[in-house]
């Protein structure tokens, strides 16, 4: 799909081929996203949307070549082009559009039907718009994806039942830890995943020995207040780890925050890492009493909920097909726009020349009336052509060529 000699691309990597470590290399903080957008703007890219979540990092935008987007991604992350090529995907034109629909509707999520991604897409679009990097095509596409996501939520049960990384973490704890009600649990990090995990822990384990730690203490206090839990200072992290039986790490740090050197407890310790990039250093596994589980292992926990969800995939796909067909129909009408505009300009030139001639010839020539009448006629003729091109899609290309010939119009290079 071409746009001023550029094409619409979706480039990125996800949990499907990239493990947590590689995804961590390509993870973008909010500051990095803004920096990437600024660079894109300076490099003449007209529209770009960037998402980076636990499960994927993706760029959707217009470029002459996908390498422009890959280069921007690698410039602003720890990832290299070589690493990217090993695990990446590059979609172009209608395939890129289709990919965004699948991602935004939860069909491509690590846990089927997880709709977290749609709010991230909305935020990404707002960020791009603020930077002046959201053209009418991208804005309309994201709105269509949001519409599809809403309908899938309302008309199917693709996201029914409690299944998310946080739910899977609690499920894992309940399956693998005996007497969970009596265990000391520490939750480090109270972002979205942390809050959800906390809620699931309270609801399912009936445990009242849950301690929260967050770098910003007030955020932990907000969550703790809701569930009547204990909050400790960030400085107490080491002590709390060593008095706990289970530690759940869900921080947004770019580097590990929990290391082997922090652990001195002699009793068994279960560590769950729900962060991307990983926030628990691999060296903890050198300690015999420590068990480390990462969110990628948790996502493999499939339960009845997921099985039930699969039944709704066909319905979700038909909703996407319907909304995508409307979007693609809109794209098809864009290719007529340059021809219609060229006809209009041609007719305006003819009108101007004719009015100039009549002004010289006629003494009582009423220029305002002539302008009004000829402008109305031009609008009607243009509408007829537009209607014909939109209705008769089969021969529209031939019609465009014929119109260009009759009106001796300039070739237009802008295709969408």
Q: CA triplet 71, 121, 272: central angle to 5 degrees?
A: 85
The yes-or-no answer on residue 74 being catalytic is: no
Average pLDDT over residues 211-215: 88
Q: What local confidence, expressed as pLDDT, does residue 313 receive? A: 93
Edge-to-edge strand list for the sheet holding 230-231: 230-231, 210-213, 185-188, 246-249, 269-273, 290-294
Q: What local confidence, expressed as pLDDT, does residue 255 receive? A: 86
Question: Which of 125, 90, 148 lies closest to 318 in space, CA to CA?
Answer: 148
Q: What local confidence, expressed as pLDDT, does residue 5 receive? A: 67
Question: Is residue 414 pLDDT above 60, yes or no?
Answer: no
Average pLDDT over residues 304-319: 87
Catalytic, out of 28, 40, 54, 121: 54
Radius of gyration of the chain (CA): 29
Question: Is residue 1 pLDDT above 60, yes or no?
Answer: no
Report residue 393's pLDDT band, with 50, 70 and 90 as the boundaries. Answer: low
Question: Is residue 332 pLDDT above 50, yes or no?
Answer: yes
Look-up of token digits 């090529």: 85
Average pLDDT over residues 277-287: 91
Q: Which of 159-168, 171-180, 284-293, 296-305 has the highest average model confidence (pLDDT)?
A: 284-293
Q: What local confidence, expressed as pLDDT, does residue 230 receive? A: 86
Listed in sequence order, the residues at least 6 apart from 274 whose beta carbon sits closer than 8 Å to its beta carbon are 54, 165, 166, 169, 189, 193, 194, 197, 248, 249, 250, 295, 298
Report residue 177's pLDDT band, with 50, 70 and 90 as the boundaries. Answer: confident
Question: Is residue 302 pLDDT above 80, yes or no?
Answer: no
Other CB atoms within 10 A of residue 7 CB: 17
> What is the per-residue pLDDT across 64-84, written as a single tens digit (0 to 9) for each?
999 999 999 999 999 999 999
> What is the per-residue pLDDT across 222-254, written as a single tens digit (0 to 9) for each?
878 777 788 899 999 999 999 999 999 988 888
Average pLDDT over residues 87-93: 96
Q: What local confidence, expressed as pLDDT, does residue 358 receive? A: 92
* Better-predicted residue by pLDDT, 112 or 375: 375
Q: What local confidence, expressed as pLDDT, does residue 245 receive? A: 94
> What is the per-residue pLDDT across 18-43, written as a single tens digit (0 to 9) for each?
998 999 999 999 999 999 999 999 99
Q: How far is CA 284 from the centre of its chain?
A: 33
Q: What local confidence, expressed as pLDDT, does residue 142 receive? A: 97
Question: Is residue 416 pLDDT above 50, yes or no?
Answer: no
> What is the per-residue pLDDT across 121-164, written as a single tens digit (0 to 9) for each?
999 999 999 999 999 999 999 999 999 999 998 998 887 655 56
């Amino acid at each position: 799909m071409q746009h001023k000699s550029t094409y619409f691309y979706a480039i990125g990597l996800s949990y499907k081929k990239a493990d947590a470590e590689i995804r961590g290399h390509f993870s973008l903080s909010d500051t990095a996203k803004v920096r990437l957008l600024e660079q894109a703007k300076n490099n003449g890219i007209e529209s770009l949307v960037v998402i980076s979540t636990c499960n994927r990092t993706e760029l959707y935008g217009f470029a002459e070549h996908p390498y422009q987007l890959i280069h921007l991604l690698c410039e602003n992350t720890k990832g290299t082009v070589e690493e990217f090529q090993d695990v990446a995907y590059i979609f172009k034109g209608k395939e890129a559009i289709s990919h965004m629909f699948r991602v935004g509707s939860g069909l491509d999520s690590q846990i089927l039907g997880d709709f977290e991604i749609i709010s991230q897409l909305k935020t990404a679009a707002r960020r791009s718009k603020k930077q002046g990097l959201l053209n009418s095509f991208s804005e309309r596409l994201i709105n269509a994806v949001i519409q599809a996501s809403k309908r899938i939520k309302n008309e199917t049960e693709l996201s029914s039942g409690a299944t998310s990384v946080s739910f899977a973490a609690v499920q894992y704890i309940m399956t693998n830890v005996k007497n969970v009600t009596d265990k000391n649990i520490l939750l480090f990090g109270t972002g979205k995943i942390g809050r959800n995990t906390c809620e699931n822990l309270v609801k399912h384990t009936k445990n009242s020995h849950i301690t929260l730690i967050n770098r910003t203490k007030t955020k932990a206090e907000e969550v703790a207040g809701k569930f009547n839990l204990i909050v400790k200072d960030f400085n107490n992290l080491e002590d709390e780890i060593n008095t706990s039986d289970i530690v759940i790490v869900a921080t947004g740090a770019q580097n590990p925050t929990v290391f082997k050197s922090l652990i001195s407890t002699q009793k068994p310790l279960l560590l769950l890492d729900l962060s991307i990039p990983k926030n628990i250093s691999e060296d903890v596994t050198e300690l015999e009493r420590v068990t480390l589980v990462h969110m990628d292992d948790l996502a493999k926990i499939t339960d009845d909920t997921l099985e039930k969800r699969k039944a709704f995939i066909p319905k979700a796909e038909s909703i996407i097909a319907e909304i995508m067909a409307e979007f693609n129909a809109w794209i098809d009408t864009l290719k007529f726009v340059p021809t219609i505009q060229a006809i209009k300009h041609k007719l305006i030139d003819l009108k101007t020349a004719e009015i100039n001639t009549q002004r010289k010839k006629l003494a009582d020539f009423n220029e305002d009336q002539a302008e009004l009448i000829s402008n109305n006629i031009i609008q009607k003729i243009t509408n007829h052509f537009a209607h014909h091109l939109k209705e008769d899609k089969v021969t529209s290309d031939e019609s465009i060529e014929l119109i260009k010939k009759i009106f001796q119009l300039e070739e237009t290079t802008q295709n969408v």
